[in-house]
Amino acid sequence: MKAALGDFTVRARSGAARRGTLTLAHGVVETPSFMPVGTAATVKTLTPHDLVELGAQIVLANTYHLWLRPGLETIAAAGGLHAFMSWERPILTDSGGFQVFSLESRRVLDDDGVRFRSHLDGSEHHFTPENVVAFQETLGVDIAMALDVCVKLPASSEEIEEAVRRTTLWAERGAAARSRPQTLLFGIIQGGLDEGARTRSARALVELDLPGYAIGGLSVGESRAEMDRMTRFAAELLPGEKPRYLMGIGTVRDLLGAIDAGIDMFDCVYPTRCGRNGRALTRGGDLNLRNAVYGRDFRPVDERCACTVCSTFSRAYLSHLFRAGEMLGPRLLSYHNLAVLLDLVAESRAAIERDEWPAFRDASLAALARETPNPT
Amino acid sequence: MKAALGDFTVRARSGAARRGTLTLAHGVVETPSFMPVGTAATVKTLTPHDLVELGAQIVLANTYHLWLRPGLETIAAAGGLHAFMSWERPILTDSGGFQVFSLESRRVLDDDGVRFRSHLDGSEHHFTPENVVAFQETLGVDIAMALDVCVKLPASSEEIEEAVRRTTLWAERGAAARSRPQTLLFGIIQGGLDEGARTRSARALVELDLPGYAIGGLSVGESRAEMDRMTRFAAELLPGEKPRYLMGIGTVRDLLGAIDAGIDMFDCVYPTRCGRNGRALTRGGDLNLRNAVYGRDFRPVDERCACTVCSTFSRAYLSHLFRAGEMLGPRLLSYHNLAVLLDLVAESRAAIERDEWPAFRDASLAALARETPNPT
């Protein structure tokens, strides 16, 4: 039987880790799933063909950035975001809330949304719980995110409570504004590191019976231990039959921890940002390829990696490209770094299916702990 | 019968245009051939796989740049330049003379070669007619270029004569220094726009019976008409049974003119430099994709182009990438621009084989003259 739009099926479990399938308008996403970030309708340096080759099943784009440039009218005229960027698989867009809040002095917040000035040209804009849903439906994406209030940590309990209150109000208004069944609206729970606030946020959003839920407001300044604790706590507040998405997570260690907590989806600029800066992700930890020691190291970036970059080029060659300021360096290393995370989730799915998740997790963490050569 | 190393066979002629095959250590080059420029062991933004897909049969790299960074010891340790950059097809290296001479205040010239300071760190180096041959042999390239004196135009006849004298002396010394049969040494004729000087330069170098000859010192400040005239004049001074290489040529119009003069090989940074700047080569002339008019133009970059970029993306998308400063823009447009020139030489070869070169040339020039929308 063909799965219906929005269906999420947990096919296997191993500990709290789960292996599922999420059916979206542009295809099925196998979870746990890592979403490469394509902020401005491009996963930086890479083509859609590269992403398919890497096994990416869904990418993330950003409503705030696309709203400002090239503008929704252009993307609508192209036939939607998929056609504009030539990506045929699912897309999730962030609402833009996170980006708007990081403007700080350039934005004013009230219960009706947020007024802000563009970081590009200072022009004024107004995002509301309703219009961000309409914008994302206009983009034609598979998953839209509700507008939320993301608070930097540490924060006072008043700030946390106010963020939870507005995030709840906005999720209700966003849900009521939906008009396109092919675009699923996910809610975002907030609450910082406060278990009570997280619980209230989750309960209110779960009442809306949205097709998926994200944990927002983590990886924003707290320690890894605090993030781990709250990820586990928040994951258990969310319905087991819906996909759980931890926003902004993207190191090997963080992915392992989040999958272990029962999270299904992740996104992060980390692999591609590192790729542009010469920092290589490997199964044994990160390497800074600009380091002189790699200038004559003719091994692949990661000896345990099967990606095209590792089977074709050496650390010495990539090191040369970065030191010479050659754009091929960022391109090759972005590709490899995504391969590491996309392979990690694929291997995690297989380990969960075999009910060998704890052993896979421990072996992967041990490899990281054992090596980490030349961290920068 | 298998062709021997260095064999050049003219298989067809149409007017003065010729279609040949040049047998090199890493494969056969079909001429007329355009060589993408990979100065620092990378054709900027592109992989060797891209270049094979584009039909590139040979690339050019630069001895001066590689000597300074990463250094010949690193490339030798990698197993040579082919292994270092993972390119299995032929490579031609420029001697570095052109780059050294453009340092101007940083170099001192005498009959024994040129002493210069690195543009990277000010370190002192000495290139001699002998050591540049040894360097290129160490790189393991298929074609090495002799050290020459390239004079900027306009120049006095004394400067031109002195450049011809030294270039001749250095070609003799370079030829005597050869020690690796798999690396063919090509000579470079100089002489500016002076027919007498060009004739003396060509006669002296032809006496050395080198496996190929380049025309240097053009496209360095003179008018197109002057370049065309001297290209035709110089081509006829060179032996018909050896490949003729016009250095630094790479627009559609210049390639058509040079093939018409009986030139077999070309190189130029033009397509890739334009690709990084948002300037698109098309059969109808160049377009500046940063121009606002392309923001909602959903046609391919060149409607007559069969490359992957043109079959996948729109002008509007590329325009967005350039305006957003996204690295995918330079990558996609470098790819397309090389496709235009590599397709042009492939179509030229086919037209020569059919003995329809004059009609092909005229139709191609007419398309350029008719359109040229939005030149920058």
Which residues 74-93 of B have a C-beta within 8 angstroms of A? 74, 77-78, 84-86
Reading phi first (left if > 0) and then psi (alpha if -120 to 50, else beta), residue B79 is in left
Which residues of chain B are within 8 Å of residue A295 when distances are taken between CB atoms? 70, 74
Q: Strands A17-24, A27-31: parallel, antiparallel or unpaired by DSSP?
A: antiparallel
Query: Per the CB < 8 Å rule, is A323 touching B42?
Result: no
DSSP string, A241-283: TS-EEETT--SHHHHHHHHHTT--EEE-SHHHHHHHHTEEP-T
pTM of the model: 0.97
The domains of chain A are located at: 31-268, 275-370
Q: Which among B47, B69, B276 has CB closest to A328?
A: B47
Q: Please judge whether B78 and A316 are an interchain contact, meaning their C-beta atoms are less than 8 angstroms apart.
A: yes
Distance CA B245, CA B90 (A): 15
Put simply, the answer to whether A326 touches B84 (Cβ < 8 Å) is no
Distances (CA, A) of B141 to A48, A360, B80: 34, 46, 8
Instruction: Name B271's Cβ contacts closer than 8 Å, sequence gap at least 6.
Output: B36, B250, B281, B334, B337, B338, B340, B341
Which tokens in the block code for residue B226? 């002057």
Mutate to test the interface with B, among A291, A319, A320 (most CBs of B within 10 A): A320
Region at B33 (left for phi over 0; alpha for psi -120 to 50; beta for the rest) = beta
Domain topology for B32-268: TIM Barrel (3.20.20)
Direct distance between the N- and C-terminal alpha carbons of chain B, in angstroms, rounded to an integer: 51
Name the residues of A annotated as catalytic.
94, 267
Cβ neighbours of B321 in A, within 8 Å = 42
Instruction: Tell the CATH topology of A31-268.
Output: TIM Barrel (3.20.20)
Cβ-contact A107, A116 below 8 angstroms: yes
Indicate which of A44, A85, A307, A317 best probes the interface with B, i.e. most B CBs within 10 Å of its own CB. A317
Q: Which chain B residue has the Cα nearest residue A40?
A: B324
Nearest CA in chain B to A312: B86
Q: Chain A within 8 Å of B323 (Cβ-Cβ)? A: yes
pLDDT in 10s for each residue of chain B, 376 residues: 578 999 999 999 999 999 999 999 999 999 999 999 999 999 999 999 999 999 999 999 999 999 999 999 999 999 999 999 999 999 999 998 888 888 777 889 999 999 999 989 999 999 999 999 999 999 999 999 999 999 888 999 999 999 999 999 999 999 999 999 999 999 999 999 999 999 999 999 999 999 999 999 998 889 999 999 999 999 999 999 999 999 999 999 999 999 999 999 999 999 999 999 999 999 999 999 999 999 999 999 999 999 999 999 999 999 999 999 999 999 999 999 999 999 999 999 999 999 999 999 999 999 997 765 544 4
> What is the model's pLDDT at position B371?
60
The per-residue pLDDT string of chain A (376 residues; one tens digit each, 9 = 90 and over) reads 578 999 999 999 999 999 999 999 999 999 999 999 999 999 999 999 999 999 999 999 999 999 999 999 999 999 999 999 999 999 999 998 888 888 877 889 999 999 999 989 999 999 999 999 999 999 999 999 999 999 888 999 999 999 999 999 999 999 999 999 999 999 999 999 999 999 999 999 999 999 999 999 998 889 999 999 999 999 999 999 999 999 999 999 999 999 999 999 999 999 999 999 999 999 999 999 999 999 999 999 999 999 999 999 999 999 999 999 999 999 999 999 999 999 999 999 999 999 999 999 999 999 997 765 544 4
The nearest CA of chain A is from the CA of B298 a distance in Å of 7
CB within 8 Å: B326 and A44: yes
Residue A151, helix vs strand vs coil:
coil
H helices present in A55-156, as ranges: 63-68, 72-78, 81-85, 97-101, 129-139
**Cβ-based neighbours of B60, under 8 Å, separated by 6 or more:** B35, B36, B37, B38, B91, B92, B93, B94, B267
Contact between chains at B70 and A314 (C-beta distance less than 8 A): no
CB contact (8 A) between residue A321 and residue B42: yes
Measured in angstroms, the CA of B36 and the nearest CA of chain A are apart by 15
